[in-house]
Amino acid sequence: MLICHCNIITEREIEQTIIGLLDQDPWQLIVPAKIYHSMQKRGRCCGCFPNVVETIIRVTENYHARSEASGVDVVSHLDRVRGLRIQYGSRTHEGRKSDHRAA
């Protein structure tokens, strides 16, 4: 599924980038700009960021569910990750006008 229409980035590519970043440091806070920088892309309209945030939350939760870290550490880290919804908006609000969609 295509998440970023401006840069033609699929959900799968974003998932792989998140896992690569978590393999480097499982406790870093991953934000959309960090993913795009890692992929050598730039957010243009940034309307995809709420969907990218939801992907970050899902992949990070699954990643830590498989890890052997203590539950307390995981819960506080995931609270920070879920806080990205406040910063970047939720999936229900794309952050761009409906007439600005590329597809």
When asked if residue 43 is in the footprint of ligand FES (CB under 6 A), the reply is yes
The single residue among 31, 33, 45, 78 that binds ligand FES, judged by CB under 6 A, is 45
Q: Which is nearer to ligand FES, 58 or 63 (CB)?
A: 58
Distance CA 50, CA 87 (A): 9
What spatial distance separates the first Cα and last Cα of the chain, rounded to whole Å? 12
When asked if residue 46 is in the footprint of ligand FES (CB under 6 A), the reply is yes
- Nearest distance, CB of residue 25 and ligand FES, angstroms: 25
Give the single-character DSSP code of 98: G
Distance CA 78, CA 96 (A): 27
Longest pairwise C-alpha distance within the chain: 46
Give the tokens for residue 53. Answer: 């945030």
Give the binding range for ligand FES (CB under 6 A) out of 5-13, 21-29, 72-80, 82-90: 5-13
When asked if residue 31 is in the footprint of ligand FES (CB under 6 A), the reply is no
When asked if residue 39 is in the footprint of ligand FES (CB under 6 A), the reply is no
Q: Which residues contact 39 (CB under 8 A, 6 or more apart)?
A: 7, 9, 13, 17
The single residue among 48, 53, 59, 84 that binds ligand FES, judged by CB under 6 A, is 48
Residue ranges binding ligand FES (CB under 6 A): 4-7, 43-48
